[in-house]
Amino acid sequence: MNLFNCGLNHSSPLLVSLFHFFFPIFYLKTIFVPPVLGFPSKMERSIILVFLSLLLLFFNHCSFLHVHSSGITLRRPNEHVRFNLIHRHSPELGEDPGTTLGPPSSQRERIKQLMHGDNARLHTISQRIGPRRKNVEVMMATTYKINLVELPMRSAADIGTGQYFVSFRVGSPPKKFIMIADTGSSLTWMKCKYKCKNCSRERTILDERIFQANKSRTFKPIPCSSDVCKIDLFRSFSLAHCPTPMAPCGYDYRYADGTRVVGIFGNDTVKVRLSGGEKIKVTDVMVGCSETIRGNFHDIDGVMGLGFDRYSFAVKAAKQFGHKFSYCLVDHLSPSNLVNFLVFGEVSISPLPNMQHTELILGIINPYYAVNVSGISVDGKMLDIPSDVWDVRGDGGVIMDSGASLTFLVKPVFDKVIAAFQAPLSKFEKLELNLGPDYCFSDAGFKESMIPKLAIHFADGAKLAPPVKSYVIDADDGVKCLGFASTGWPGTTVIGNILQQNHLWEFDLKNSKLGFAPSSCTFH
């Protein structure tokens, strides 16, 4: 429980400054001016001094606080929020054979599930990026305070929208949901019911965890007549139908794998826990109340949108916690006691002396996070790859994606990379398994030291040199595959989550920088 509840608004720094200016004047006058008619007696002056001292203590305390417009009150400049990221194949999600959550029956089945999701994911990315290759102005607030929020992530490959899950609390009173954390989605939505007398009979929401939006004291539907609905949310598939000015803004959100969610947009409160243990509220978070769901979302409660969009949860939370969010992914085959995490704010993990930074290209192909790659090397030799494949403002480009498992290379890049590995891998029997990865081989006699070192080079000099296990993956008993798949050109190269493993990735949205460094993902 807080000792003080200041209730100050954004003008509080001015109030504090004025108080500090006038306090010495009143203080000295109270001490040195002798009692006269109408002036306090000695006892009264003592009471006034005690009152002024307490008031000074109050204002000093409040000046150390900052009350955000979102309703967050933060004490220390290094606080953060953390979510655990839970992979879809983690035992934490159960072992129901009727779903694809939890540990697969075999490594081969694991790869098949991941590739099923990757195929749908790539289709979704292609559909979304194709029409959006133009500059998009994204209006963002510029006032931030440095604080930190963390969340755990879990994988959800088979629905084509994400690979990792988080526990997410929304509403008043807060209700817990298991959500896909997806850097390729801008909309945060949950399975939901609202005041809908004429709801579609197609509604198939039968799960226990359903957001009862009409029972949340803080849920506020967005009117369909508002500019937010008609203009801002057009990219999020808002519907033009508006029977009355105050009717809720509807959406019909469709995924490339055929999944469809229909509902209404609203704002509500999300409850998170700071690194110091205090629970706080992030208010006015845009959420989708999805009342009709058709497709592959049976296993999960919704999606947490981490894409770059002014209304995404990532951008909303980053405004409150130091402009930044970060995630760190352990090997997807690691023991379940090793946890992936998602953090909003400054990350306080083991020192990372090898932290590098490169340009984060924002607003070009929203909601994706693009990077400026200049080339790929194998064993220190730069491959002869046409430069236009890296041009995000043209027909190419590279994005970071937590929702894809493999790394998808456009054909001109894929052909050069595979050619560079063929000679070193010629000593192993090549296998045709139709698992998804395009190059698989027998691992008889395999040693990591036999594999060339791959590196991705960025235009500003940074270099990602992943460990061998991040691009030579176990596909089955006695089988390994290169963790790359080919995709069409023109098109976008996608750096998937397996290649991102064992690194901390820091997205600095204010300065448009992506930081990365090798990490064990041990959080303190």
Catalytic residue set? 182, 401
Rg, C-alpha atoms of the chain: 27
Q: State CA 442 to chain mean position distance.
A: 37
The count of other CB atoms within 10 Å of the CB of residue 33 is: 11
Residue whose structure tokens are 């352990």:
330
d(CA 427, CA 347): 43
| HEC per residue, 435-491 | CCCCCEEECCCCCHHHCCCEEEEECCCCEECCCHHHCEEEEECCEEEECEEEECCCC
The two three-digit tokens of residue 43, written as one number: 């006892």
| Rounded CA separation 475/379 (Å) | 24
User: One-letter amino acid identity for 156?
Assistant: A
* Bridge partners, residue 484, by sequence: 407
CA neighbor of 133 nearest in space, from 410, 360, 361: 361
- CA separation, residue 393 to residues 126, 135, 144, 388, 491 (Å): 15, 8, 29, 10, 12
For residue 161, give Cα distances in angstroms to 174, 391, 457, 510: 25, 25, 27, 26
Q: Which amino acid makes up residue 38? A: G
Q: Which amino acid is at 139?
A: M
Using DSSP bridges, classify how beta strands 279-294 and 189-193 pair: parallel, antiparallel or unpaired: parallel
d(CA 176, CA 170): 7
Query: 3-class DSSP state for residue 378?
Result: strand
Q: Specify whether the CB–CB gap between 313 and 136 falls below 8 A.
A: no
